[in-house]
A and B are shown apart, each in its own frame.
Chain A
Protein backbone atom coordinates (compact mmCIF):
# COMPACT_ATOMS: atom_id res chain seq x y z
CA UNK A 1 0.00 0.00 0.00
CA UNK A 2 1.33 3.35 -1.05
CA UNK A 3 2.35 6.02 1.44
CA UNK A 4 1.32 9.62 0.94
CA UNK A 5 3.02 12.77 2.19
CA UNK A 6 1.18 14.60 4.96
CA UNK A 7 1.95 18.03 6.35
CA UNK A 8 0.10 19.33 9.35
CA UNK A 9 0.59 21.13 12.63
CA UNK A 10 0.12 19.76 16.10
CA UNK A 11 0.04 22.19 19.00
CA UNK A 12 1.68 24.80 16.81
CA UNK A 13 4.53 22.61 15.59
CA UNK A 14 4.82 21.52 11.97
CA UNK A 15 4.99 17.84 11.12
CA UNK A 16 5.91 16.34 7.77
CA UNK A 17 5.35 12.61 7.51
CA UNK A 18 4.48 9.84 5.10
CA UNK A 19 1.46 7.74 5.94
CA UNK A 20 -0.58 4.94 4.52
CA UNK A 21 -4.14 6.03 3.84
CA UNK A 22 -5.57 3.42 6.21
CA UNK A 23 -4.03 5.06 9.26
CA UNK A 24 -6.39 7.07 11.42
CA UNK A 25 -5.38 10.44 12.82
CA UNK A 26 -5.61 8.89 16.28
CA UNK A 27 -3.01 6.27 15.51
CA UNK A 28 -0.75 8.71 13.74
CA UNK A 29 -0.85 11.16 16.64
CA UNK A 30 -0.12 8.43 19.15
CA UNK A 31 2.78 7.14 17.05
CA UNK A 32 4.19 10.68 17.00
CA UNK A 33 4.16 10.67 20.79
CA UNK A 34 0.85 12.39 21.50
CA UNK A 35 -0.24 9.66 23.83
CA UNK A 36 -2.66 12.02 25.58
CA UNK A 37 -5.02 11.27 22.68
CA UNK A 38 -6.59 8.03 23.85
CA UNK A 39 -8.03 4.96 22.14
CA UNK A 40 -11.05 4.15 24.27
CA UNK A 41 -13.16 2.52 21.59
CA UNK A 42 -11.80 3.54 18.15
CA UNK A 43 -15.31 3.90 16.87
CA UNK A 44 -16.44 7.39 17.80
CA UNK A 45 -18.54 6.29 20.76
CA UNK A 46 -16.46 7.48 23.72
CA UNK A 47 -14.70 10.77 22.92
CA UNK A 48 -11.36 9.90 24.52
CA UNK A 49 -9.67 10.55 21.17
CA UNK A 50 -11.08 14.07 20.79
CA UNK A 51 -8.77 16.73 19.39
CA UNK A 52 -9.37 20.17 17.91
CA UNK A 53 -9.04 20.07 14.13
CA UNK A 54 -8.76 23.64 12.89
CA UNK A 55 -10.41 24.61 16.15
CA UNK A 56 -13.31 22.16 15.94
CA UNK A 57 -13.60 19.17 18.24
CA UNK A 58 -13.64 15.86 16.37
CA UNK A 59 -13.03 12.17 17.06
CA UNK A 60 -9.53 11.55 15.77
CA UNK A 61 -10.41 7.85 15.51
CA UNK A 62 -12.95 8.73 12.83
CA UNK A 63 -10.52 10.87 10.88
CA UNK A 64 -8.09 9.45 8.37
CA UNK A 65 -4.65 10.91 9.00
CA UNK A 66 -4.62 12.20 5.44
CA UNK A 67 -7.79 14.17 6.17
CA UNK A 68 -5.64 16.37 8.42
CA UNK A 69 -3.65 17.58 5.40
CA UNK A 70 -2.68 21.22 5.92
CA UNK A 71 -4.71 21.46 9.10
CA UNK A 72 -3.91 22.44 12.67
CA UNK A 73 -4.49 20.02 15.47
CA UNK A 74 -4.67 20.90 19.13
CA UNK A 75 -4.43 18.29 21.86
CA UNK A 76 -4.84 18.92 25.56
CA UNK A 77 -1.08 19.35 25.84
CA UNK A 78 -1.38 22.28 23.46
CA UNK A 79 -3.74 24.07 25.82
CA UNK A 80 -1.49 24.16 28.83
CA UNK A 81 1.49 22.62 30.55
CA UNK A 82 2.18 21.60 34.12
CA UNK A 83 3.91 24.94 34.58
CA UNK A 84 1.18 27.00 33.00
CA UNK A 85 -2.26 25.46 33.05
CA UNK A 86 -5.12 26.59 30.87
CA UNK A 87 -8.02 27.84 33.05
CA UNK A 88 -10.03 24.78 32.05
CA UNK A 89 -7.23 22.51 33.24
CA UNK A 90 -6.91 24.55 36.42
CA UNK A 91 -10.60 24.20 37.09
CA UNK A 92 -10.58 20.46 36.46
CA UNK A 93 -7.79 20.14 39.01
CA UNK A 94 -9.35 22.44 41.58
CA UNK A 95 -12.88 21.06 41.41
CA UNK A 96 -12.00 17.37 41.61
CA UNK A 97 -13.19 16.69 38.06
CA UNK A 98 -10.46 14.12 37.47
CA UNK A 99 -10.47 10.61 38.88
CA UNK A 100 -8.79 8.01 36.68
CA UNK A 101 -8.08 10.75 34.16
CA UNK A 102 -8.54 8.66 31.03
CA UNK A 103 -11.49 10.68 29.73
CA UNK A 104 -9.91 13.97 30.83
CA UNK A 105 -7.94 14.99 27.71
CA UNK A 106 -10.91 14.49 25.41
CA UNK A 107 -13.26 16.09 27.91
CA UNK A 108 -11.09 19.20 28.16
CA UNK A 109 -10.99 19.47 24.37
CA UNK A 110 -14.80 19.43 24.21
CA UNK A 111 -14.93 21.96 27.02
CA UNK A 112 -12.51 24.26 25.20
CA UNK A 113 -14.55 24.04 22.03
CA UNK A 114 -17.71 24.89 23.97
CA UNK A 115 -16.24 27.90 25.74
CA UNK A 116 -14.75 29.19 22.49
CA UNK A 117 -18.26 29.34 21.02
CA UNK A 118 -20.28 30.02 24.17
CA UNK A 119 -18.41 31.81 26.96
CA UNK A 120 -21.38 31.70 29.33
CA UNK A 121 -23.02 28.30 29.02
CA UNK A 122 -25.75 26.97 31.29
CA UNK A 123 -25.17 23.68 33.03
CA UNK A 124 -27.52 22.02 30.51
CA UNK A 125 -25.48 23.43 27.65
CA UNK A 126 -22.30 22.12 29.27
CA UNK A 127 -23.81 18.65 29.61
CA UNK A 128 -24.91 18.73 25.99
CA UNK A 129 -21.45 19.82 24.83
CA UNK A 130 -19.72 16.92 26.61
CA UNK A 131 -22.38 14.35 25.73
CA UNK A 132 -19.96 12.73 23.30
CA UNK A 133 -17.37 12.21 26.05
CA UNK A 134 -18.08 9.22 28.24
CA UNK A 135 -16.86 9.09 31.82
CA UNK A 136 -17.28 6.08 34.05
CA UNK A 137 -15.72 7.44 37.23
CA UNK A 138 -17.14 10.86 38.09
CA UNK A 139 -20.84 10.84 37.22
CA UNK A 140 -20.00 14.10 35.37
CA UNK A 141 -20.99 16.23 38.37
CA UNK A 142 -17.62 17.80 39.09
CA UNK A 143 -16.77 17.98 35.40
CA UNK A 144 -19.78 20.24 34.91
CA UNK A 145 -18.78 22.22 38.01
CA UNK A 146 -15.26 22.66 36.64
CA UNK A 147 -16.34 23.79 33.17
CA UNK A 148 -18.80 26.26 34.69
CA UNK A 149 -16.05 27.62 36.94
CA UNK A 150 -13.56 27.79 34.08
CA UNK A 151 -16.06 29.75 32.02
CA UNK A 152 -16.39 32.26 34.83
CA UNK A 153 -12.60 32.47 35.27
CA UNK A 154 -12.15 33.07 31.57
CA UNK A 155 -14.89 35.71 31.39
CA UNK A 156 -13.40 37.56 34.35
CA UNK A 157 -9.93 37.45 32.87
CA UNK A 158 -11.11 39.32 29.78
Chain B
Protein backbone atom coordinates (compact mmCIF):
# COMPACT_ATOMS: atom_id res chain seq x y z
CA UNK B 1 0.00 0.00 0.00
CA UNK B 2 1.27 3.52 -0.70
CA UNK B 3 1.16 5.71 2.38
CA UNK B 4 0.64 9.43 2.28
CA UNK B 5 4.30 10.27 2.92
CA UNK B 6 4.05 13.22 5.24
CA UNK B 7 1.39 11.86 7.56
CA UNK B 8 2.18 11.24 11.17
CA UNK B 9 -1.03 11.82 13.00
CA UNK B 10 -3.89 9.37 12.90
CA UNK B 11 -7.11 11.06 11.81
CA UNK B 12 -9.73 11.79 14.47
CA UNK B 13 -12.10 9.01 15.44
CA UNK B 14 -14.57 8.07 18.15
CA UNK B 15 -13.49 5.23 20.31
CA UNK B 16 -14.80 2.59 22.63
CA UNK B 17 -13.14 -0.26 24.48
CA UNK B 18 -15.82 -2.81 25.35
CA UNK B 19 -14.92 -5.31 28.03
CA UNK B 20 -17.16 -8.09 26.81
CA UNK B 21 -18.05 -9.61 23.48
CA UNK B 22 -21.72 -8.83 24.12
CA UNK B 23 -20.87 -5.14 24.54
CA UNK B 24 -18.75 -5.19 21.41
CA UNK B 25 -21.52 -6.78 19.37
CA UNK B 26 -24.01 -4.20 20.59
CA UNK B 27 -21.67 -1.41 19.54
CA UNK B 28 -21.09 -2.99 16.16
CA UNK B 29 -24.83 -3.24 15.64
CA UNK B 30 -25.24 0.43 16.53
CA UNK B 31 -22.25 1.65 14.54
CA UNK B 32 -22.16 -0.31 11.32
CA UNK B 33 -19.49 2.12 10.07
CA UNK B 34 -17.16 1.17 12.91
CA UNK B 35 -13.78 -0.48 12.42
CA UNK B 36 -12.59 -3.13 14.82
CA UNK B 37 -9.08 -2.83 16.23
CA UNK B 38 -7.38 -5.68 18.05
CA UNK B 39 -3.58 -5.73 17.82
CA UNK B 40 -3.51 -2.78 15.45
CA UNK B 41 -0.45 -4.05 13.60
CA UNK B 42 -2.18 -3.72 10.21
CA UNK B 43 -4.69 -1.03 11.02
CA UNK B 44 -2.50 1.58 12.67
CA UNK B 45 0.01 1.86 9.78
CA UNK B 46 -2.92 2.19 7.41
CA UNK B 47 -4.39 4.92 9.60
CA UNK B 48 -1.10 6.77 9.79
CA UNK B 49 -0.74 6.64 6.03
CA UNK B 50 -4.29 7.86 5.52
CA UNK B 51 -5.10 4.67 3.64
CA UNK B 52 -7.93 3.97 6.06
CA UNK B 53 -9.73 6.70 7.98
CA UNK B 54 -12.05 5.13 10.54
CA UNK B 55 -14.60 7.41 12.15
CA UNK B 56 -15.27 4.96 14.95
CA UNK B 57 -12.96 2.37 16.43
CA UNK B 58 -14.16 -0.47 18.58
CA UNK B 59 -11.13 -1.71 20.48
CA UNK B 60 -11.59 -5.38 21.27
CA UNK B 61 -8.03 -5.89 22.59
CA UNK B 62 -9.35 -5.83 26.16
CA UNK B 63 -11.91 -8.59 25.68
CA UNK B 64 -10.33 -11.48 27.53
CA UNK B 65 -13.05 -13.93 26.55
CA UNK B 66 -11.76 -13.79 22.98
CA UNK B 67 -8.31 -15.04 23.99
CA UNK B 68 -8.00 -18.80 24.37
CA UNK B 69 -6.64 -21.92 22.78
CA UNK B 70 -8.34 -25.12 23.81
CA UNK B 71 -8.89 -28.63 22.63
CA UNK B 72 -12.46 -29.83 22.66
CA UNK B 73 -14.34 -32.62 20.91
CA UNK B 74 -11.52 -33.43 18.51
CA UNK B 75 -11.24 -29.78 17.59
CA UNK B 76 -8.86 -27.02 18.48
CA UNK B 77 -10.71 -23.81 19.18
CA UNK B 78 -8.83 -20.54 19.11
CA UNK B 79 -10.38 -17.26 20.18
CA UNK B 80 -10.07 -14.67 17.43
CA UNK B 81 -8.40 -12.26 19.85
CA UNK B 82 -5.58 -14.70 20.58
CA UNK B 83 -2.16 -13.25 19.95
CA UNK B 84 0.10 -14.91 17.42
CA UNK B 85 2.80 -15.34 20.06
CA UNK B 86 0.37 -17.31 22.27
CA UNK B 87 -0.38 -19.68 19.41
CA UNK B 88 3.34 -20.29 18.95
CA UNK B 89 3.87 -20.99 22.64
CA UNK B 90 0.81 -23.19 23.02
CA UNK B 91 1.33 -26.81 24.01
CA UNK B 92 -1.48 -27.76 21.66
CA UNK B 93 0.30 -28.83 18.50
CA UNK B 94 -0.95 -27.66 15.15
CA UNK B 95 2.33 -27.67 13.29
CA UNK B 96 1.38 -26.00 10.05
CA UNK B 97 -0.35 -23.13 11.84
CA UNK B 98 2.40 -22.70 14.40
CA UNK B 99 5.07 -22.72 11.66
CA UNK B 100 3.21 -19.94 9.92
CA UNK B 101 2.82 -17.95 13.11
CA UNK B 102 6.56 -18.16 13.73
CA UNK B 103 7.14 -16.49 10.37
CA UNK B 104 4.43 -13.84 10.68
CA UNK B 105 5.79 -10.35 11.19
CA UNK B 106 8.54 -10.13 13.77
CA UNK B 107 8.89 -10.98 17.48
CA UNK B 108 7.51 -7.59 18.49
CA UNK B 109 4.48 -7.54 16.21
CA UNK B 110 3.68 -11.14 17.14
CA UNK B 111 2.94 -9.95 20.66
CA UNK B 112 0.16 -7.72 19.42
CA UNK B 113 -1.11 -9.25 16.19
CA UNK B 114 -4.08 -11.57 16.59
CA UNK B 115 -5.15 -14.49 14.47
CA UNK B 116 -8.56 -12.87 14.00
CA UNK B 117 -6.93 -9.66 12.86
CA UNK B 118 -4.74 -11.48 10.37
CA UNK B 119 -7.82 -13.14 8.89
CA UNK B 120 -10.11 -10.10 8.87
CA UNK B 121 -7.41 -7.90 7.35
CA UNK B 122 -7.77 -10.39 4.48
CA UNK B 123 -4.52 -9.74 2.74
CA UNK B 124 -3.95 -12.42 0.11
CA UNK B 125 -0.57 -12.80 1.82
CA UNK B 126 -2.06 -13.53 5.26
CA UNK B 127 0.20 -16.12 6.82
CA UNK B 128 -2.44 -17.81 8.98
CA UNK B 129 -4.97 -18.19 6.15
CA UNK B 130 -3.27 -20.89 4.12
CA UNK B 131 -2.61 -23.21 7.10
CA UNK B 132 -6.20 -22.83 8.23
CA UNK B 133 -7.42 -23.64 4.75
CA UNK B 134 -5.49 -26.89 4.54
CA UNK B 135 -6.65 -27.77 8.04
CA UNK B 136 -10.24 -27.32 6.92
CA UNK B 137 -10.87 -24.77 9.64
CA UNK B 138 -14.15 -23.02 10.20
CA UNK B 139 -14.67 -19.48 11.38
CA UNK B 140 -17.38 -18.47 13.81
CA UNK B 141 -18.98 -15.13 13.02
CA UNK B 142 -21.18 -13.68 15.71
CA UNK B 143 -23.73 -10.92 15.77
CA UNK B 144 -26.41 -9.96 18.25
CA UNK B 145 -28.76 -12.22 16.32
CA UNK B 146 -26.66 -15.33 16.74
CA UNK B 147 -23.75 -17.00 15.05
CA UNK B 148 -22.83 -18.70 11.81
CA UNK B 149 -19.84 -20.75 10.79
CA UNK B 150 -18.04 -20.24 7.52
CA UNK B 151 -15.31 -22.49 6.13
CA UNK B 152 -12.16 -20.43 6.02
CA UNK B 153 -11.77 -20.70 2.25
CA UNK B 154 -15.19 -19.12 1.85
CA UNK B 155 -14.35 -16.28 4.23
CA UNK B 156 -12.25 -14.23 1.80
CA UNK B 157 -13.84 -12.56 -1.22
CA UNK B 158 -11.09 -10.23 -2.37
CA UNK B 159 -8.03 -8.30 -1.20
CA UNK B 160 -9.07 -6.81 2.13
CA UNK B 161 -12.64 -8.11 1.73
CA UNK B 162 -14.41 -10.82 3.69
CA UNK B 163 -17.97 -12.10 4.11
CA UNK B 164 -18.21 -10.46 7.53
CA UNK B 165 -21.40 -8.44 7.73
CA UNK B 166 -21.14 -4.99 9.15
CA UNK B 167 -22.71 -6.05 12.43
CA UNK B 168 -20.61 -9.20 12.83
CA UNK B 169 -17.39 -9.95 14.67
CA UNK B 170 -15.16 -12.96 14.04
CA UNK B 171 -14.97 -14.72 17.40
CA UNK B 172 -13.49 -18.15 16.99
CA UNK B 173 -11.45 -20.38 14.71
CA UNK B 174 -12.33 -24.06 14.87
CA UNK B 175 -9.74 -26.48 13.61
CA UNK B 176 -10.40 -30.20 13.24
CA UNK B 177 -7.39 -32.03 14.59
CA UNK B 178 -5.48 -33.43 11.65
CA UNK B 179 -5.10 -36.79 13.36
CA UNK B 180 -2.58 -39.59 12.91
CA UNK B 181 -1.11 -40.05 9.49
CA UNK B 182 -1.35 -36.34 8.77
CA UNK B 183 1.70 -34.56 7.46
CA UNK B 184 1.83 -30.78 7.43
CA UNK B 185 4.21 -28.16 6.12
CA UNK B 186 4.26 -24.40 5.73
CA UNK B 187 6.67 -22.62 3.41
CA UNK B 188 7.02 -18.87 3.12
CA UNK B 189 9.22 -16.80 0.86
CA UNK B 190 9.68 -13.13 1.62
CA UNK B 191 12.22 -10.56 0.51
CA UNK B 192 14.38 -11.48 3.49
CA UNK B 193 14.53 -14.24 6.08
CA UNK B 194 12.75 -12.45 8.89
CA UNK B 195 10.20 -9.67 9.32
CA UNK B 196 8.91 -9.95 5.77
CA UNK B 197 5.57 -9.95 4.01
CA UNK B 198 5.00 -13.16 2.06
CA UNK B 199 5.77 -12.86 -1.61
CA UNK B 200 4.32 -16.34 -1.77
CA UNK B 201 3.36 -18.70 0.99
CA UNK B 202 2.08 -22.22 0.81
CA UNK B 203 0.59 -24.70 3.26
CA UNK B 204 0.27 -28.40 2.64
CA UNK B 205 -1.63 -31.08 4.54
CA UNK B 206 -1.52 -34.70 3.48
CA UNK B 207 -3.48 -37.54 5.00
CA UNK B 208 -1.41 -40.62 4.36
CA UNK B 209 -2.08 -44.31 4.92
CA UNK B 210 0.53 -46.95 4.09
CA UNK B 211 2.40 -44.23 2.22
CA UNK B 212 -0.57 -43.61 -0.06
CA UNK B 213 -2.05 -40.14 -0.01
CA UNK B 214 -5.69 -40.38 0.94
CA UNK B 215 -6.35 -36.66 1.04
CA UNK B 216 -4.33 -33.64 0.05
CA UNK B 217 -4.79 -29.95 0.64
CA UNK B 218 -2.52 -27.32 -0.86
CA UNK B 219 -3.20 -23.67 -0.09
CA UNK B 220 -1.37 -20.78 -1.73
CA UNK B 221 -1.05 -17.23 -0.47
CA UNK B 222 -0.30 -14.04 -2.33
CA UNK B 223 -0.97 -15.42 -5.80
CA UNK B 224 -4.62 -14.51 -6.24
CA UNK B 225 -7.08 -11.92 -4.90
CA UNK B 226 -7.57 -14.25 -1.92
CA UNK B 227 -5.63 -17.19 -0.50
CA UNK B 228 -6.64 -20.18 -2.61
CA UNK B 229 -6.69 -23.95 -2.60
CA UNK B 230 -4.83 -25.45 -5.55
CA UNK B 231 -7.57 -27.95 -6.29
CA UNK B 232 -6.16 -29.43 -9.50
CA UNK B 233 -2.76 -29.85 -7.89
CA UNK B 234 -4.43 -31.54 -4.92
CA UNK B 235 -6.11 -34.03 -7.23
CA UNK B 236 -2.81 -35.17 -8.71
CA UNK B 237 -1.69 -36.41 -5.31
CA UNK B 238 -4.69 -38.40 -4.21
CA UNK B 239 -4.29 -42.13 -4.43
CA UNK B 240 -0.58 -41.87 -5.14
CA UNK B 241 2.69 -42.09 -3.31
CA UNK B 242 4.98 -39.11 -3.16
CA UNK B 243 7.87 -39.25 -5.60
CA UNK B 244 10.11 -36.70 -7.27
CA UNK B 245 8.10 -36.99 -10.49
CA UNK B 246 4.77 -36.58 -8.74
CA UNK B 247 6.05 -33.61 -6.75
CA UNK B 248 7.32 -31.98 -9.94
CA UNK B 249 3.99 -32.52 -11.71
CA UNK B 250 1.92 -31.35 -8.78
CA UNK B 251 4.00 -28.22 -8.31
CA UNK B 252 3.74 -27.23 -11.95
CA UNK B 253 -0.01 -27.62 -11.89
CA UNK B 254 -0.23 -25.57 -8.71
CA UNK B 255 1.80 -22.83 -10.42
CA UNK B 256 -0.65 -22.80 -13.30
CA UNK B 257 -3.61 -22.54 -10.93
CA UNK B 258 -2.19 -19.44 -9.32
CA UNK B 259 -3.15 -16.05 -10.72
CA UNK B 260 -0.53 -13.71 -9.29
CA UNK B 261 -0.10 -10.04 -10.02
CA UNK B 262 3.05 -7.95 -10.14
CA UNK B 263 3.57 -5.54 -7.27
CA UNK B 264 6.33 -3.80 -5.37
CA UNK B 265 7.51 -7.15 -3.94
CA UNK B 266 7.75 -9.06 -7.16
CA UNK B 267 6.46 -9.85 -10.61
CA UNK B 268 3.71 -12.28 -11.51
CA UNK B 269 6.19 -14.58 -13.22
CA UNK B 270 8.38 -14.65 -10.11
CA UNK B 271 5.40 -15.62 -8.01
CA UNK B 272 4.47 -18.38 -10.43
CA UNK B 273 7.98 -19.78 -10.17
CA UNK B 274 7.85 -19.45 -6.41
CA UNK B 275 4.61 -21.43 -6.21
CA UNK B 276 6.36 -24.22 -8.02
CA UNK B 277 9.38 -23.98 -5.75
CA UNK B 278 7.43 -23.71 -2.51
CA UNK B 279 5.10 -26.59 -3.30
CA UNK B 280 8.07 -28.76 -4.22
CA UNK B 281 9.88 -27.84 -1.01
CA UNK B 282 6.84 -28.52 1.10
CA UNK B 283 6.06 -31.88 -0.49
CA UNK B 284 9.65 -33.02 -0.46
CA UNK B 285 9.88 -32.41 3.26
CA UNK B 286 6.86 -34.68 3.71
CA UNK B 287 8.23 -37.46 1.55
Contacts and interface: CB of A to CB of B under 8 A. Distances in A.
Are chains A and B native binding partners rather than an unrelated pairing? yes
Interface of A: 1-2, 4, 20-24, 42-45, 47, 50, 53, 56-59, 61-64, 66-67, 69, 110, 113, 128-133
A4 B194 contact: no
Contacts of A64: 15, 37, 40, 44, 59
Contacts of B47: 22
Interface in B33-73: 37, 39-41, 44-45, 47-49, 57, 59, 61-62
A61 to B, nearest CB: 7
A63 B40 contact: yes
B107 A110 contact: yes
A50 B107 CA distance: 11
Contacts of B3: 43
A66 B13 CA distance: 13
Interface stretch (B4-12, B142-150, B218-226, B228-236): B4-12
Which interface residue of B3, B106, B108 has the most chain A CB atoms within 10 A?
B108
B107 A62 contact: no
Contact of B40 (A53, A67, A69, A131): A67
Contacts, number: 93
Contact of B111 (A2, A56, A66): A56
Interface residues of B, number: 33
Given A66-B17, A67-B61, A132-B106, A59 B112 contact: yes
Interface of B: 3, 8-15, 17, 37, 39-41, 44-45, 47-49, 57, 59, 61-62, 85, 105-109, 111-112, 194-195
A67 B259 CA distance: 39
A62 B112 CA distance: 8
* Majority secondary structure of chain B interface residues (helix, strand, loop or mixed): loop
10 contacts: A42-B8, A44-B41, A44-B44, A44-B45, A44-B108, A58-B111, A61-B44, A62-B41, A67-B17, A132-B105
B16 to A, nearest CB: 9
Nearest to B47: A22
Contacts of A63: 40, 112
B109 A62 contact: yes
Contacts of A61: 44
A44 B10 CA distance: 15
A128 B109 CA distance: 13
B195 A132 contact: yes
B134 to A, nearest CB: 25
Given A59-B41, A64-B15, 20 more contacts: A1-B12, A1-B13, A4-B15, A21-B15, A21-B57, A24-B10, A43-B3, A44-B108, A47-B106, A57-B108, A61-B44, A62-B112, A67-B61, A110-B107, A113-B107, A130-B107, A131-B107, A131-B194, A132-B107, A132-B195
